Amino acid sequence: MNIQSAINKGSKILQNNNISSFRLDSEIILSKVLNKERSYIFLNLNKVLSNDDLNRFNDLIKERQTGKPIAYIFGKKEFWKFEFDVDKNVLIPRPDTELIVEVILELTKNKTSLKLLDIGIGSGCIILSILREKKGFYGVGIDMSKKCLKISKVNSNKLNLTNRVRFFKSDVDNFNYGKYDLIVSNPPYINKFSYDCLEKGILDFEPKIALYGGIDGLSEIRKVVNKSSELLKKNGKLVLEIAYDQREKVKKILNDKKFYINKILKDYAKNDRCIVSTKM
């Protein structure tokens, strides 16, 4: 079978299984099997596949057909300028979360040496991307999941950051180590109703603990704000990822803890996504 026919076949199977990105995914899977860029595929549509490659392709299409995200199938996800290891224990880094990295780099562009804390690191994508960009910064990352810490340590190794970051297994309430110039968090913030309506690929495969924020979606955000008011230095910044409809409620939670709201940023879909505040 040639490349063109394999892509068509894989894409049809995925489409029949309600995978909306069926064609793209079929192409990505084949390019990974062949260990080539996607462009190679378009330039070699008539090339005949070896039996081994075809079998591997068919197996991976079967895996994707169940709804399993591509990132979990290959154990990798691009985020910011880097490639992160991921597995089923960590949330797959989202392009929208790159906004958080961007805003922190902008906020700290004139700083050379800062101490950062990331609450709920997951794969480590946020704090590790920032540390890679800012050579004089030090970071601490916490997560209550030991399995997440394992992955974030792999990622810090891959990015040569082990001497500038420390990880602790802790939930937010019980963490009391250090004082920070900046705290960042992408906490679980999805409310009960929205969680139940998530698309199947997320609901069936991504960790609930990284997504679900209690009935109103705000229970972890409240904890992060409380803890940040203790651990931030005066004038330190808190940068939070929030859901599209949480702006006013999170502003109130922050104001109640005497944070000044600096700005609220929108994501690619023009929804509120990130709130920057300062501890007074």
Q: Which tokens hold the place of 88?
A: 């089923």
- Minimum CB distance to ligand GLN smaller for 49 or for 224: 224
Query: Shortest gap between Cβ of 181 and ligand GLN (angstroms)?
Result: 23
Q: Which range touches ligand GLN (CB under 6 A), out of 6-14, 50-58, 99-107, 182-190?
A: 182-190
Q: Which tokens hold the place of 273?
A: 């996504």
Buried b / exposed e over 32-46, threshold 16 CB at 10 Å, is bbbeeeeeebeeeee
CA pair distance 156, 15, nearest whole angstrom = 37
Query: Shortest gap between Cβ of 179 and ligand GLN (angstroms)?
Result: 25
Q: Hey, which residues between 70 and 109 contact ligand GLN (CB under 6 A)?
A: 94
Find the binder of ligand GLN among 124, 188, 201, 236 (CB under 6 A): 188
Interaxial angle between packed helices 3-16 and 22-34, expressed in degrees from 0 to 180 and rounded to the nearest 10: 140
Q: Which range touches ligand GLN (CB under 6 A), out of 6-14, 37-45, 150-158, 188-196?
A: 188-196
Query: Shortest gap between Cβ of 33 and ligand GLN (angstroms)?
Result: 28
Find the binder of ligand GLN among 144, 161, 202, 265 (CB under 6 A): 202
Q: Which tokens hold the place of 130?
A: 């920032």
* 249 near ligand GLN (CB under 6 A): no
CA pair distance 216, 191, nearest whole angstrom = 5
- Minimum CB distance to ligand GLN smaller for 12 or for 249: 249
Q: Which range touches ligand GLN (CB under 6 A), out of 15-23, 59-67, 181-189, 252-260?
A: 181-189
Find the binder of ligand GLN among 167, 189, 195, 259 (CB under 6 A): 189
Map residue 136 onto helix, strand or coil.
coil
Going by C-alpha positions, the residue among 142, 137, 135 that lies closest to residue 182 is: 137
Give the count of residues interacting with ligand GLN (CB under 6 A): 9
Alpha helices in the chain (DSSP H): 3-16, 22-34, 38-43, 51-65, 70-74, 98-107, 125-133, 146-158, 192-196, 200-203, 219-231, 247-256
Find the binder of ligand GLN among 41, 211, 239, 250 (CB under 6 A): 211
Q: What are the two backbone dihedrals, phi and then psi, of residue 115, each rounded to the nearest 5 degrees?
A: -110, 125
Query: Shortest gap between Cβ of 243 and ligand GLN (angstroms)?
Result: 7
Query: Shortest gap between Cβ of 170 and ligand GLN (angstroms)?
Result: 18
Q: Which residues bind ligand GLN (CB under 6 A)?
A: 94, 186-190, 202, 211, 241
